Amino acid sequence: MKPQLHGANVRARCPNCGGALTTFESAANRVEYGAIQVDHEHKHGGYDFNRIVYQLMRCAGCGRGGLAEVHCEDHFSKGLLDSFFPRTIEQAPLPEAVPKGIESEYREAEICASVEAWRAASAMLRSTLEKALEDSGYKRTHWQRISTRPRRMA
């Protein structure tokens, strides 16, 4: 689930709570944890805003800290959540028969994707696929493109 702004709080999965869906609160006993406000007229997501708020938050379950970046006008609670830390990973289920080496490489690709490191995630997925093919008995020459033309050197 993608983190969502709910009033002055964020609903997201907490890595410390085992990925459980929880509320990250921006205040306790009506005392705000802290925020940095940057007044700046800008467009984001097709809307006009006049400030960005970086709000400190805390998981209601375990107390882990969080940071929300919200684009807003007058009220934080009516803003647009741009990013939230900690990032959580929705892990895809894998068959139990998948070898540990292949599974760990796939999980690393998921981590790369969770922080939007798309090239690293792609490289890890490609490596995972190659290892899965080799583990299934395919030889590298079966899936690699073999060119008969010499490459041009630039």
User: Mind listing the pLDDT tens digit for each residue in 97-130?
Assistant: 999 999 999 989 988 887 788 999 999 999 999 8
Q: Is the pTM of this model over 0.75?
A: no
Cis peptide before 150 (omega within 30 of 0): no
User: For residue 110, what are the contacts with CB-CB under 8 A and spacing of at least 6?
Assistant: 89, 91, 92, 121
Task: Please give the Cα distance from 121 to 99 (Å, whole number).
Answer: 19
Domain that residue 136 falls in: 100-143
Domain boundary among 41, 57, 85: 85
Q: Would you say residue 153 lies in a domain? A: no
Note whether 78 and 138 are same-domain residues. no
The angle at the Cα of 1, spanning 121 to 58, to the nearest 5 degrees, equals 100
Domain boundary among 55, 85, 115: 85
Q: Would you say residue 91 lies in a domain? A: no
